[in-house]
Structure 1
Amino acid sequence: MQILRPIASSDFAAFKQIAIESGHGFTSLPVDDQLLQDKIARSEKSFSKTLSKPFDEGYVFVLEDSETGEIMGTTAIEAAVGMQVPLYHYHLGKTVHHSRTLDVYNTVDILSMCNDYTGCSEICTLFLREPFRKGLAGRFLSRSRFVFMADHSERFSDTVIAEMRGVSDSEGNSPFWKWLQEHFFSIEFPQADHLVGLGDKVFISELMPKYPIYANLLSTDAQAVIGKVHEKTKPALKLLQKEGFEHRGYIDLFDAGPTVEAKLQNIRTVQRSKVAQIEIRSDVSGKARAISNQGLANFKATFTDKCSYDEQSKTLFIAPDVAKALALNNGDSVRTFTL
């Protein structure tokens, strides 16, 4: 059985292996022992806090095979981004150059650096290891974050964002960054990406152009990747689009990948998930469902077809081994949704 739970200090070795496998451009998981250990410690502290509003908490989850103990993947939620370290984006807008005298009217795309998403919650660090990318695991890993947020909404912002990985080659080189590097920087994209992952963003404010950039002045290659995602990120983007996330012109400073957003209460999984009481039965089956025990520090979720939901009584019938895996007893409350 696959169980999603909060990360623990004992997961460090597996967490580091995931960071190694995630590759270039996965800014939130740099291969740095101290940073990864700090992420785990911060997550453990965040889960243990008593809160009435979000500030700077980070919740990291791991997907574990309950039979082998192997860590299959990870995902995370940042409660309120940009509160301690500034969060920068470019916003793709337009400006008009118009001369009535010359009868000339031109609309030009411009990129303006901003901090518009400060205070928003961010879903991030979604990575499922290659051997486990089959079946419903990826969909479950992505969507289960939303039921956690729904059950603990006081810990999160009304607006939820996701920064999608932009286009880069197998060596980690970004066409968008190549243009910025040529005109404003003297470091390679993997180095800049690594610095951001370490939380060192001072160089952004020091070296980034302070004024809007005319997009048509960028190289053809750089223009072509604005708002586009990495090939490996396309499935994740499609999942979020089905949840109601939209791209509203905000892109990453380095690889020009899109940032998408949605209101928490408008997210499809939040709206369609059901809160139900459970009844444990030995012989039960139905459609595959994700089930969360609605916990905080003891949060656990899984997906199974050994369950059946009764709409009229709002009861979820589940098998004994599923109840045991989620630490549930008869009459306990869960949140569930169909996969």
Structure 2
Amino acid sequence: MLIVRPIEKKDFSALQTIAEQSGIGFTSLPQNDDLLRAKIHRSVNSFAADTDQPGDQGYLFVAEDTTTGEVVGTAGIEASVGLSDAFYHYRLGSVVHSSPELGIHKTVKTLSLCNDYTGAAELCTLFLKTSHRIGGNGRLLAKSRFLFMASHPERFGETVIAEMRGVSDEEGRSPFWQWLQEHFFDLDFPTADYLTGIGEKRFIAELMPKYPIYVNLLSAQAQDVIGQVHPATEPAIAMLKKEGFRFKDYVDIFDAGPTVECPLDQIETVRQSQSVIIRIGELAATPVDYLLANTQLSNYRAGLVRAHLHDGELYLDAEQASILGLSDGDAARCVAIPSSQ
């Protein structure tokens, strides 16, 4: 059985491996041992924090195969971005050049550097090893965060965003960044991406153009990738769109990948989930697939189970309940998983 749980100090080696496999463009997991240890330390402290409002917390989860004990994936949530470091995006807009006398009216798209998402919660660090991209594992890893947020909404910003990886080639070259590099920077994309991942963001403010960039001045290759996702990211953005996330014209400042957003209380899994009381007992003749999680913090566990729901009580077998840290009579949160998903 695959479960999702908070990361622990013992998971450092597994996180190293995941950081190596995730590759260039996966900013939230830099290949830097000190920073990976710091991420684990920050996450442990975040889960242990006694708070009723979003702050500078970062929650990092891992997916563990309970049969082998192998950690096979990660998923993260930032409680509220931009509080300790500036959080940059480009906002797509437009300007109108008009002269009635000459009969000219032209609308030009622009990119403006902004910090508009300051205070939003962010979904991040979603990665699953290729060996386990089967069945409902990816869905479990992604959606388990929503059950955690549904149980503890006071710990997160009211708007939830996700930065989607933009277009780059196998060597990590981004057409969008290549244009910026040529005109404003002397850094290649992998270096800029790495510096951001380790928290060295000052160069952004120092070197990024302060005035809007006219999109039609970019190379054709750079224009073509604005708001487009990396092929490997297409399943992730498709899942988020089903959850109600929408693109509102904000893109990443390095690869121009889209950022999508949704109010926390409007995320489909959050809206459809419900609080239940656990009952250990005989299953109905036709049990249903549920994503089930306990409501704890440091001992949070989530997994896919076969169970049946009746009058606010969820019946499941003792083995499944034990793996998820649940006993008869405990409170939990679940959401039905349609077979078509």
TM range (shorter): over 0.9
Counterparts of 1:41 and 1:293, CA distance in 2: 23
Q: 1:322 aligns with which of 320, 323, 326?
A: 320
Amino acid aligned to 1:327? G
Counterparts of 1:250 and 1:79, CA distance in 2: 20
Counterparts of 1:280 and 1:52, CA distance in 2: 32
Q: Are positions 1:299 and 2:297 aligned together?
A: no
- 8 Å CA contact retained: 1:82, 1:119: yes
Q: What does the per-residue CA deviation read over 1:261-280, in whole Å, with 9 as the maximum and x for residues that have no partner? A: 00000000000011111110
Amino acid aligned to 1:131? S
Counterparts of 2:64 and 2:164, CA distance in 1: 24
Matches of residues 1-339 of structure 1 in structure 2 within 5 Å?
Answer: 1-284=1-284, 286-305=287-306, 307-310=307-310, 313-339=311-337
Query: How far off its partner does 1:327 sit?
Result: 1.6
Amino acid aligned to 1:7? I
Query: How far off its partner does 1:287 sit?
Result: 2.1
Amino acid aligned to 2:298? A
Counterparts of 2:105 and 2:123, CA distance in 1: 41
Query: How far off its partner does 1:144 sit?
Result: 1.1
Amino acid aligned to 1:34? D
- 8 Å CA contact retained: 2:283, 2:308: no
CA RMSD in angstroms comes to: 0.8
Query: How far off its partner does 1:283 sit?
Result: 4.4
> Match of 1:82, SS?
coil
- 8 Å CA contact retained: 2:110, 2:215: yes
- 8 Å CA contact retained: 2:283, 2:315: no
Counterparts of 2:21 and 2:289, CA distance in 1: 29
- 8 Å CA contact retained: 2:302, 2:324: yes
Residue correspondences, number: 336
Q: What does the per-residue CA deviation read over 1:217-253, in whole Å, with 9 as the maximum and x for residues that have no partner? A: 0000000000000000000000000000000000000
- 8 Å CA contact retained: 2:91, 2:112: yes
> Match of 2:61, SS?
strand
- 8 Å CA contact retained: 1:56, 1:84: yes
More displaced 10-residue stretch of structure 1: 275-284 or 158-167:
275-284
> Match of 2:288, SS?
coil
TM-score (norm 2): 0.97
Query: How far off its partner does 1:286 sit?
Result: 1.5
Counterparts of 1:198 and 1:278, CA distance in 2: 42
Q: What does the per-residue CA deviation read over 1:16-53, in whole Å, with 9 as the maximum and x for residues that have no partner? A: 10000001100000110000000000000001110021
Counterparts of 1:50 and 1:11, CA distance in 2: 24
Counterparts of 2:98 and 2:182, CA distance in 1: 31
- 8 Å CA contact retained: 1:282, 1:320: no
> Match of 1:203, SS?
helix
> Match of 2:95, SS?
strand
Amino acid aligned to 2:79? A
Q: What does the per-residue CA deviation read over 1:42-88, in whole Å, with 9 as the maximum and x for residues that have no partner? A: 00000111002111000000000111100110000000101101000
- 8 Å CA contact retained: 2:282, 2:315: no
Amino acid aligned to 1:226? I
Runs of 4+ in 1 over 6 A off after TM superposition: none
> Match of 1:135, SS?
coil
Counterparts of 1:287 and 1:229, CA distance in 2: 34
Counterparts of 1:337 and 1:150, CA distance in 2: 11
Counterparts of 2:323 and 2:334, CA distance in 1: 15
Query: How far off its partner does 1:282 sit?
Result: 4.2
TM-score (norm 1): 0.98
Counterparts of 2:207 and 2:283, CA distance in 1: 64
Counterparts of 2:187 and 2:158, CA distance in 1: 37
> Match of 2:112, SS?
strand
> Match of 1:288, SS?
strand
Counterparts of 1:334 and 1:246, CA distance in 2: 29
- 8 Å CA contact retained: 1:3, 1:300: yes
Mark the runs of 5 or more structure 1 residues left unpaired by the alignment.
none
Amino acid aligned to 2:304? F
